[in-house]
């Protein structure tokens, strides 16, 4: 099992990239109605949705490429916390009922990235801003 430790930076990178790609999908639903519109037939997006979509696009791209990962993850985590408490929590205390589980998961994965950094395959690591380079 000790050999698994060497794969940790790559596993972190895979988690970072896949989470950000899934997060980006929320923005494409808002701005491009792809793969489906976030609010079918509702007309123009409300201001809060435009702000949320903009945060999702910017932070997702930064996290995918691993640039300013900790800052982008902090902002994305905060957005998901706000989204949970504004949109989901008022519907029910229980996340399984209020459909807030994805928001909670995004929030805590992004919060983890704030502390863990980008891992491998990132601009942060290539420029010496990642934890692997700083410790060397």
pLDDT tens per residue, range 21-33: 999 999 999 999 9
C-alpha closest to that of 55 among 78, 35, 34, 85: 78
Q: What is the mean pLDDT of residues 78-106?
A: 97
Secondary structure of residue 75 in the 3-state scheme: helix
Q: Where are the domains of the chain?
A: 2-135
pTM of the shown model: 0.90
Listed as own residue / partner, the contacts of 18-21 with beta carbons closer than 8 Å and 24 or more positions apart are 19/63, 19/106, 19/109, 19/110, 19/113, 20/59, 20/60, 20/61, 20/63, 20/64, 21/60, 21/64
pLDDT tens per residue, range 49-80: 999 999 999 999 999 999 999 999 999 999 99
């Amino acid at each position: 099992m000790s050999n698994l430790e060497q794969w940790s930076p790559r596993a972190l990178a895979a988690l970072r990239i896949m989470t950000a790609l899934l997060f980006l999908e929320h923005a494409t639903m808002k701005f491009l109605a792809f793969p489906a519109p976030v609010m079918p037939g509702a007309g123009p997006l409300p201001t809060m949705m435009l702000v949320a979509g903009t945060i999702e696009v910017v932070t997702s791209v930064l996290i995918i490429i691993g640039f300013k990962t900790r800052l982008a993850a902090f902002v994305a985590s905060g957005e998901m916390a706000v989204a949970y408490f504004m949109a989901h929590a008022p519907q029910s205390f229980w996340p399984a009922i209020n459909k807030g589980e994805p928001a909670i998961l995004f929030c805590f994965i992004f919060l983890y990235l704030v502390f863990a950094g980008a891992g491998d395959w990132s601009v942060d690591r290539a420029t010496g801003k990642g934890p692997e380079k700083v410790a060397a």
